[in-house]
Amino acid sequence: MVDARIIPLRRHEDGRGSGQADKARGEWVLFACSSSNLSKGGFQRLEAICAAATERPHMLIRLEDMGQSLFEAMDEMRRGGAGTIRLQPIGLPFPESLLSWLPGVLAHWKSRPVNAGISVSLGPEPSRAASGPAGMLRELLDAPSASLAGVPPALGKPGWDSPPDFDFHLLVCTGPRCQMRDAASLSHVLKAECAAAGIAKRCLTTTTGCIYPCNKGPVVAVYPQGDWFRVPDRTAARRLVHEVLCAGRNLPDLQFHSARRARADH
């Protein structure tokens, strides 16, 4: 599964870091942020900040939700000629759970024979920079703030009182470990398959943070049935839609948990 909004590899247009043979095997930077509520515009602004920070070939990815996965980005850098890949976390603070997880993930990618000739490193957590974070905050505090005069109070929007009508609620995990296994595009694939099968209006598809168990990812939980599935590719997504949602059959090769069965066992 590939998301059509994959962010392309960025190089400076003035020739610096432009991929000449003498620079192609240098250090390439993979910036990684952790934000489940980052808009497309916000991502583009963050990408511009990354571009201003380095002359090296680089790319920005999200470790949750939509976009290119960590391994996809590293594979693309390898194919582009990177000799060294530095994964640089960005965001204040960067989640400690991800910092403890990333070294093993990078080592796993490095262990693949095709990646043997590439050096991989992990940059420091952003808040440990000597002056950058504090300087940024000082600049923000020196800037004028926006007045709230005339802004009407509101906690929601009209019509946000009841959920839509549906027969199936599909919970699609897009936490970091499932996202690494290409879960980012899975919700779009499921919606497309539901539409093709004529059941789009019967299904409410919701992307979530980590819902566990990560080793079974990409994880999709189907309610009210309470059945959990590993959906690794588009073929599996199509089978889930046609056999489980449309025909009401089981998929024992993909299903790894049932809330009903778990309750019965206890």
Same domain, 115 and 173: no
180: part of which helix (H) or strand (E)?
helix 176-180
Domain count, the chain: 2
CB 121 within 8 A of CB 26: no
Is 160 a member of any domain? no
Same domain, 111 and 46: yes
* Helical pair 70-80 and 96-111, crossing angle rounded to 10 deg: 50
pLDDT tens per residue across all 266 residues of the chain: 433 333 445 554 444 444 444 455 689 999 999 887 788 899 999 999 999 999 999 999 988 877 788 999 999 999 999 999 999 999 888 888 889 999 999 999 999 999 999 999 999 988 887 777 888 888 889 999 999 999 998 888 888 888 889 999 999 998 888 877 777 678 889 999 999 999 999 999 998 888 889 899 899 999 999 999 999 989 999 999 999 999 999 999 999 999 876 566 65
Same domain, 196 and 106: no
Residue 261 is part of which domain span? 168-265
| Residue 22, pLDDT score | 45
Q: Which of 72, 106, 128 represents a domain boundary (last residue)?
A: 128
Is 6 a member of any domain? no
CATH number of the CATH domain containing 111: 3.40.50.1400
Same domain, 186 and 100: no
Q: Which of 107, 128, 149 represents a domain boundary (last residue)?
A: 128
Is 142 a member of any domain? no
Distance CA 110, CA 87 (A): 13
Q: Which of 96, 128, 160 represents a domain boundary (last residue)?
A: 128
From residue 118, alpha-carbon distances to 23, 60, 75 in Å are 14, 19, 11
CB 7 within 8 A of CB 48: no
Q: Is the pTM of this model over 0.95?
A: no
Is 254 a member of any domain? yes
Distance CA 57, CA 10 (A): 6
Helix, strand, coil distribution of the chain in percent, nearest 5: 40, 20, 40
CATH number of the CATH domain containing 211: 3.40.30.10
Is 162 a member of any domain? no
Q: Could you tell me the two tokens for 236?
A: 């599996």
